[in-house]
Amino acid sequence: MFKNWGRGLEGVAEVCAIQLPGREGRFRESLLDTAEPLVEIIARLVVDSGDRRPYVFFGHSLGAALCLRVAHELNYLQAEGPVGLILSARSPHVGSAGSIDPDRLDDDELLARVRGFGGISAAMLLNDGLMRSMIPRLRSDLRLSRQLEREQIELPPLATPIAALGGRDDPVVTAAELKNWLHYTSNVLQIRCFPGGHFFLRDESTLFAYLPEILRQFHVLTEYACAC
């Protein structure tokens, strides 16, 4: 999903993508469906990097909830946290449309729900074997997502500005739900909605035009802004 970001943001930001176990190049590694190990590992990577340049977390869907937790973990470690969070296609509320309990669905029901998110290529949808090979990863991601969703309720607001992004036709996260991120920051919340659905960020040209703007604004934002 982020393979072109280094080139697309060249001269604007250095992109450091995190690939979780059990995915793509780490496909043979065991999946993790509990938050604590991932949060601790990512926070430790940031601390141990020794890089003192300002940085921002960008997370899409499950990644957005993970970014929030890692930012809190860095606070706990009294480490230098991100200067801003960009949280994409994620509602902070328990029980939102994107909240799925994978243990209450059989394989066919799970795949039907995931197909409803959109963003899966027609060729992939027609390949039943490939879709079914994704089921363990989907269940792992959804268990992790539900845990983060439940535990997020207890998190205090961060002093970090948040930019909440969404797709105007997202069946999972509405523009109204994005506004609820206001409860998770004592700083500024900016909302921006783009054409498309849950995977709107695949239109990289639109996103790459916006990201330099928000990266600059994280240093100067003074008020809540909504551009849905």
Residue 140's CATH number: 3.40.50.1820
Long-range contacts of the stretch 216-224 (C-beta < 8 A, 24+): 217/190, 218/56, 218/83, 218/84, 218/161, 218/163, 219/83, 221/161, 221/187, 221/188, 221/190, 222/188, 223/188, 224/182, 224/188, 224/189, 224/190
Number of domains in the chain: 1
- pLDDT score at 98: 58
CA atoms within 13 A on the CB side of 38: 24
pLDDT of residue 156: 94
User: How confident is the model at residue 80, as a pLDDT?
Assistant: 92
Residues of the chain short of pLDDT 50, as ranges, are 220-228
Instruction: Report the length, in residues, of the chain.
Output: 228
User: In this predicted structure, what is the pLDDT of residue 222?
Assistant: 41
pTM for the whole thing?
Answer: 0.88
Alpha helices in 127-222, H assignment, sequence order: 128-133, 135-152, 175-178, 204-217
User: Which residues are known to be catalytic?
Assistant: 61
| pLDDT score recorded for residue 96 | 58
Whole domain around residue 205: which residue ranges?
5-227
CB-based contacts of 154: which residues, under 8 Å, 6+ apart? none
C-alpha distances (whole Å) from 6 to each of 14, 148, 171, 205 are 7, 28, 29, 13
Q: Which pLDDT belongs to residue 6?
A: 85
